Structure 1
Amino acid sequence: MRSPIVRWPALTLSLALALAGCAKGTGGGPPAAQQASRYDPAATFTGTLTVMGFGGDDEIGATRLAKAKAALGGADVKLVEGDLDIQQFLSSVAAGDPPDLVYANRDQIGTFASRGAIVPLTACVKGEGIDTSMYDENALAQVTFGGEVWAVPEFNQVQIVMADAGLLRQAGLTVADVNGSDWAKITEAAKKLVKAPGGKLRVIGFDSKLPEFLPLWAKANGADLLSPDGRTARLNSPQVVEALEFAVGIYAAQGGFAKVKAVRDAADFFGKGNQFAEHELGAMPMEQWYVNVLNDVSPEAPLAFDAFRTPRGEPLAYSSGSAWAIPKGAGNAAAACRFAKTMTLVDTWTAAAQARLDKRKGEGKPFTGVLTGNVRADKEIRKMVTSGGEPWDSGVKAFYEANEHTFSLPANPADKEFKDAWQGAVNRVLNGQDQPRQALDRAQRDAQAALDKAWAWWTKRTG
């Protein structure tokens, strides 16, 4: 299952005004705590619940949506579908006409909270009796700061290594040469796998997936980009610099990032002409949901899978995903809380998995599982996985192993600014504007300034 990708548009003047409006509308700080008495697990709801950023257009989403609607006891649900439009969302909050519930990436929750655009869910959790122990610890931590939970975790995403087994075999390699356990071997494998006749890149040997996966390479090298309390940037530590140098060097060994990106962007990523089916990619780390995509569109492609591993051979994954948050000023917050709770319950997830399983059986294909932010649901869903033979069984094994060895970046009130800083640094290096150390030194200054400002503001407003 591919969870929706939520993108930040360019910070135009209108968005800047919307942000300012949000801050002004909440007195420049977090909204006041709500009363648990507002929430009653026995209550039924009427009227309309407006949900922004969620589609429910496949069997996983549709099954869960039906259960959430039924749990409301009568209220209509209006979906504002498509990727979350951040400008539209913040503008609606500033105008006093927000949706009742918003579906966002977990790494956006801290910024939304600091802008006063969403409310803390402490009362929601208590009043609806939500058992937060069912949620993945990293997923829950990513939406918790200032002593309060700000969102309900939903899908979970982790990375595994995916490779073209045919290309590996032709080059005398195995997946162990590209799984991260030996960085020197990855570099050599990339050189052996790459094909660039006449200087024109045709086959990417290894894609280190920058800029998105810098946190993964850094963590594998023993470094965190951010301190556990979310207050101190660590972007220019020697280990992070080394990780960036390595991951960028992979591209340099293949003719440079521009050539790799051109081949990457031209691929039919979700179709039958994907890079593995067309033998245009040796290996890469990638989110686990892509196993299901590949099995669906190119089941005969020769593939090999393994967990991404540290140089010590230990499995590792950078956990990210989606979450449900209630906007400030939501007219039907109690119904929104019930909806978010129901969408993430064990029974809801297993019903959705059964719907996927039934569909896959009808198509004569295996059910490769679904990763959620609910550890109990994951345990039950794993029992439902069906064998597809190799390499698919190895793919499923790899992503469940990865899911047991995850980390995430701590929540903080400058989530967006922090992410912009490190991704901007990586992009400057990829574009040839800066060297890794220079780029990360600048990112460190920018990120720390943003963190200091946001935390000072947060502390002042929360007393």
Structure 2
Amino acid sequence: MRQVTRTVRALSVFGVTTLLLTGCATGTGSQDGPAAEFDADSAITGELSVMGFGVNDEIAESRFESAQAELPDVDITLVEGDLDIQQFLSAVASGEPPELIYANRDQLGTFASRGAIMPLNDCLDAEAIDTTNFREPAMNQVTFEDQVYGVPEFNQVQVTMANAGLLEDADLSLDDVDGSDWNGVTEAAEKVFTTDSGRISVIGYDPKLPEFLPIWARANGADLLSADARTAQLNDPAVVQALEFAAGLYEIQDGFSAVKAYRDSADFFGSGNQFASSTLGAMPMEQWYINILNDVSPDAEMAFTTVKDTSGEDLSFSSGSAWAIPAASSNPEAACRFIGHMTDAETWVAAAGVRAEARQAEGKPFTGLFTGNQTADDQIREQFVKPSDDAKWDEAIDASYAANESSFSLPANPADAEFKTAWQDGVNRVLNGQQDPQEAMDQAQEEAQTALDEAWSTWDDE
């Protein structure tokens, strides 16, 4: 089985930039020297620099403090803020990467194929990190060519959120906007959509393009990428049909540009959000937005259910973060133990208890915690998720947990960024009126497949 042990290459800034923009699959580094010696019984010392992770809420703070206590002889420093890909790859190319990174899961296939991060199979075995406790869609995103390159952290899924008052006024129900009947969704969008003096005043239904194309495609029985991650399927007839449907929802509501402009004008994170102001009928949205709504507009007329495919089954697209160890990490042993502790069910449950207490003190419901660790999620729900005084939030919680059990993901591949850019650009060309769905997805298919072929060819030849 392939072990990534390429020598660090001191790439110029131009070289790293080219790597990012063109998808060149040149290896960017690995550990050169003694192999990591993972051992659960060994004393861990030294320094641990963590890039991409911040202590910005009680969940992160509780877990980080617990990890510090677990590693008392390790000097842990955080490079906060989202992972800067160029900064990271430049650090790898210079031979001085951080000891640990916190990245989006859909970045790891590219990092792994370029030798920027190390396989973690030995780490997982030594620290007894049981990957069977983690959700399969999350693990699929961090597994490349049968090697695990990351350990999942949070898990994000989507639910259908709706303004109950607007639905009732239009004689509609959640069944009309859950996605199970595309004709029904179109009719609902038309009924709720309202204009005032020629300008949009209420968006009937927002399908959240371009980012949610994978959901609409899967709802129609198609995936954007083959299971082996080698073949793009962007112009599959079912994908094209899904794009026609979702983009068509904008066309019957004065077009994408008008809807987007009105959507962007909303106080999305404030008390004047689109649901509280009754300016949006329904949309699919990540479950974390439920807490925002509960915080800033608890009295808004809301209703929640899962997103459903065309056969009526629950559906959601799994995304989220993961821990990975750079291939030239100077302290992979500390990084591995840190990962094991941060993603352990016991650590997650303790952090959830802190948040549940905080929510109770504020008189607000605890809506759950959604991680890549299914064991942790089950324990958290059992211990801390209690019925609230408002049935709509219980409805939101139930929908979120159902979505978490019905998620899918795209497999890791060596051209993650280029593949995503290809299909999103294709969707945007449709939304901007530059191409019809078939033309756009044909072009996206060619671009995506070229990127995949080049990246896989380089990997297979090494």
1:13 deviates by 5.1
Partner residue, 1:456: 457
* Match runs of 1:166-205 below 5 Å: 166-205=165-204
Letter paired with 1:231: R
Give the Cα–Cα distance (whole angstroms) in 1 for the partners of residues 28 and 243 of structure 2: 41
Partner residue, 1:409: 410
| 8 Å Cα contact 1:22/1:90 also seen in 2 | no
| 8 Å Cα contact 2:28/2:116 also seen in 1 | no
1:431 deviates by 1.1
Letter paired with 1:87: Q
1:67 deviates by 1.4
| 8 Å Cα contact 2:31/2:329 also seen in 1 | no
| 8 Å Cα contact 2:27/2:116 also seen in 1 | no
Give the Cα–Cα distance (whole angstroms) in 2 for the partners of residues 57 and 323 of structure 1: 17
Cα deviation, 1:60-118, whole Å, max 9, x if unaligned, reads 11111111112223212111111211111111111111111111111111011122211
Q: 1:441 to 1:22 in 2, by over 3 A?
A: closer
Q: 1:186 to 1:25 in 2, by over 3 A?
A: closer
1:170 deviates by 1.1
Pair 1:359-2:382 in alignment: no
Give the Cα–Cα distance (whole angstroms) in 2 for the partners of residues 18 and 77 of structure 1: 30
- Structure 2: stretches of 5+ with no match in the other structure: 1-12
Give the Cα–Cα distance (whole angstroms) in 1 for the partners of residues 69 and 44 of structure 2: 10
| 8 Å Cα contact 2:154/2:320 also seen in 1 | yes
Give the Cα–Cα distance (whole angstroms) in 1 for the partners of residues 220 and 420 of structure 2: 19
Paired residue secondary structure (1:196):
strand
Partner residue, 1:117: 116
Pair 1:328-2:327 in alignment: yes
Letter paired with 1:69: Q
Partner residue, 1:386: 386
Give the Cα–Cα distance (whole angstroms) in 1 for the partners of residues 54 and 74 of structure 2: 18
Letter paired with 1:148: Q
Paired residue secondary structure (1:40):
coil
Partner residue, 1:9: none
* Match runs of 1:209-224 below 5 Å: 209-224=208-223
| 8 Å Cα contact 1:158/1:403 also seen in 2 | yes
1:14 deviates by 6.9
Partner residue, 2:228: 229
Identity of aligned residues (%): 57
Give the Cα–Cα distance (whole angstroms) in 2 for the partners of residues 410 and 320 of structure 1: 11
Q: Which deviates further from its counterpart, 91-100 or 437-446?
A: 91-100
Pair 1:238-2:231 in alignment: no
Partner residue, 2:336: 337
Give the Cα–Cα distance (whole angstroms) in 1 for the partners of residues 435 and 233 of structure 2: 18
Partner residue, 1:6: none
Letter paired with 2:436: Q
Count of residue correspondences: 446
Give the Cα–Cα distance (whole angstroms) in 2 for the partners of residues 204 and 31 of structure 1: 53
Letter paired with 2:324: A
Partner residue, 1:8: none
Letter paired with 1:416: A
Letter paired with 1:378: D
1:186 deviates by 0.7
| 8 Å Cα contact 1:360/1:366 also seen in 2 | yes
Partner residue, 2:105: 106
Cα deviation, 1:245-290, whole Å, max 9, x if unaligned, reads 0000000010001011112212222222211111111100011111
Give the Cα–Cα distance (whole angstroms) in 2 for the partners of residues 457 and 227 of structure 1: 19
TM-score norm. by structure 2 comes to: 0.93
* Match runs of 1:232-381 below 5 Å: 232-381=231-380
1:210 deviates by 0.5
Give the Cα–Cα distance (whole angstroms) in 2 for the partners of residues 117 and 274 of structure 1: 41
Give the Cα–Cα distance (whole angstroms) in 1 for the partners of residues 44 and 84 of structure 2: 27
1:48 deviates by 2.2
Q: 1:436 to 1:124 in 2, by over 3 A?
A: same
Give the Cα–Cα distance (whole angstroms) in 2 for the partners of residues 192 and 34 of structure 1: 66
Give the Cα–Cα distance (whole angstroms) in 2 for the partners of residues 181 and 329 of structure 1: 48
Pair 1:165-2:168 in alignment: no
| 8 Å Cα contact 2:25/2:113 also seen in 1 | no
1:32 deviates by 8.1
| 8 Å Cα contact 1:21/1:94 also seen in 2 | no
1:450 deviates by 1.1
Give the Cα–Cα distance (whole angstroms) in 1 for the partners of residues 166 and 195 of structure 2: 14
Paired residue secondary structure (2:397):
helix
Give the Cα–Cα distance (whole angstroms) in 1 for the partners of residues 88 and 304 of structure 2: 39
| 8 Å Cα contact 2:25/2:455 also seen in 1 | no
| 8 Å Cα contact 1:35/1:123 also seen in 2 | no
Q: 1:154 to 1:165 in 2, by over 3 A?
A: same
1:151 deviates by 0.4
Partner residue, 1:436: 437
1:45 deviates by 2.7
TM-score norm. by structure 1 comes to: 0.93
Give the Cα–Cα distance (whole angstroms) in 2 for the partners of residues 410 and 291 of structure 1: 28
Give the Cα–Cα distance (whole angstroms) in 1 for the partners of residues 34 and 288 of structure 2: 37
Cα deviation, 1:275-317, whole Å, max 9, x if unaligned, reads 1111111100011111111111111111000010112111111
Give the Cα–Cα distance (whole angstroms) in 2 for the partners of residues 126 and 427 of structure 1: 44
1:18 deviates by 6.2
Give the Cα–Cα distance (whole angstroms) in 2 for the partners of residues 386 and 33 of structure 1: 52
Q: 1:250 to 1:22 in 2, by over 3 A?
A: closer
Give the Cα–Cα distance (whole angstroms) in 1 for the partners of residues 195 and 445 of structure 2: 36
1:47 deviates by 2.9
Letter paired with 2:327: K
Paired residue secondary structure (1:142):
helix
Paired residue secondary structure (1:236):
coil
| 8 Å Cα contact 1:50/1:80 also seen in 2 | yes
Partner residue, 2:4: none
Give the Cα–Cα distance (whole angstroms) in 1 for the partners of residues 121 and 276 of structure 2: 48
Q: 1:363 to 1:269 in 2, by over 3 A?
A: same
| 8 Å Cα contact 2:53/2:81 also seen in 1 | yes
Pair 1:61-2:60 in alignment: yes
| 8 Å Cα contact 2:24/2:455 also seen in 1 | no
Q: 1:291 to 1:445 in 2, by over 3 A?
A: same
